């Protein structure tokens, strides 16, 4: 953990290669997010859910809904990589998505339940994926070639990163 409220666990650092043990740990980080996130927001009032985790940052509610949006895209991108030959993917404007009415006002339970189902399906698939398939890739318009292993590292970090935004805010405010 760092004192940087924007990057409480540090910035993402992609490794050029990872071991099977590391891979399994990253899958577990993704698998554990729904339960850890539900615990982090349990009992928070609407006012607390609508509190930004830092000045200029998203509210807790927006972070929860962002995780659902982002991780759905990640699952789809990984499946595209595994089922097509270097498919091109489309980016999306995550900031614009976070400003949509559902992200700003919908009950967090909608995304918590969605994340639970999505992560169960996603991690079941990842655990069954042969090691060679983690080398398959998509073509990202901004990042070029992105392997399943790269996305796995990113979304394991992403899970911990946004969870730390919420748990850090809860701890700082004594909620």
Per the domain annotation, does 92 fall within a domain? Answer: yes
Instruction: Provide the domain count of the chain.
Output: 1
| pLDDT value at residue 147 | 97
Residue 24 lies in a domain: no
Residue 155 has pLDDT above 90, yes or no: yes
User: Would residue 112 count as lying in a domain?
Assistant: yes
Is 89 strand, coil or helix?
Answer: coil
- How confident is the model at residue 3, as a pLDDT? 85
pLDDT band at 171 (very low <50, low <70, confident <90, very high): very high
Structure confidence at residue 13 (pLDDT): 96
- Minimal CA–CA distance to 115: which of 78, 174, 63, 59? 63
**Domain assignment of residue 44, yes or no:** yes
Q: How far apart are the first and last CA of the chain?
A: 19
> How much is the pLDDT for 93?
96
d(CA 95, CA 147): 24
Q: Is 4 domain-assigned? A: no
In a domain, 117, yes or no: yes
Predicted confidence at residue 125, as pLDDT, reads: 98
User: Is there a domain that residue 5 lies in?
Assistant: no
The whole domain housing 167 covers 29-173
Q: Kindly report the CATH number assigned to the domain that includes residue 56.
A: 1.20.120.450
- Structure confidence at residue 1 (pLDDT): 64
> Is residue 50 assigned to a domain?
yes
Whole-model pTM? Answer: 0.96
Would you give the distance in Å from CA 11 to the centre of its chain?
14
- How confident is the model over 83-110, as pLDDT tens digits? 999 999 999 999 999 999 999 999 999 9
Q: What is the pLDDT of residues 1-60, one digit of tens each?
A: 678 999 999 999 999 999 999 999 999 999 999 999 999 999 999 999 999 999 999 999
Residues 105-145 have pLDDT tens digits of 999 999 999 999 999 999 999 999 999 999 999 999 999 99
Q: Rounded to an integer, what distance in angstroms lies between the CA atom of residue 50 and that of residue 104?
A: 8
């Amino acid at each position: 953990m760092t004192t940087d409220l924007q990057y409480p666990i540090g910035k993402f650092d992609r490794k050029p290669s990872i071991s099977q043990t590391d891979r399994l740990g990253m899958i577990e980080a993704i698998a554990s997010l729904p339960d850890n996130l539900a615990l982090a927001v349990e009992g928070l009032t609407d006012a607390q859910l609508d509190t930004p985790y830092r000045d200029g940052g998203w509210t807790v509610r927006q972070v929860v809904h962002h995780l659902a949006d982002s991780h759905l895209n990640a699952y789809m991108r990984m499946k595209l990589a595994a089922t097509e030959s270097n498919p091109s993917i489309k980016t999306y404007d995550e900031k614009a998505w976070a400003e949509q009415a559902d992200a700003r006002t919908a009950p967090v339970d909608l995304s918590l339940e969605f994340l639970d189902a999505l992560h169960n399906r996603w991690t079941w698939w990842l655990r069954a994926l042969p090691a060679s398939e983690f080398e398959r890739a998509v073509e990202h318009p901004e990042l070029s070639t992105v392997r399943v292993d790269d996305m796995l590292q990113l979304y394991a970090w992403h899970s911990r990163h946004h969870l730390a935004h919420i748990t850090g805010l809860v701890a700082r405010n004594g909620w």
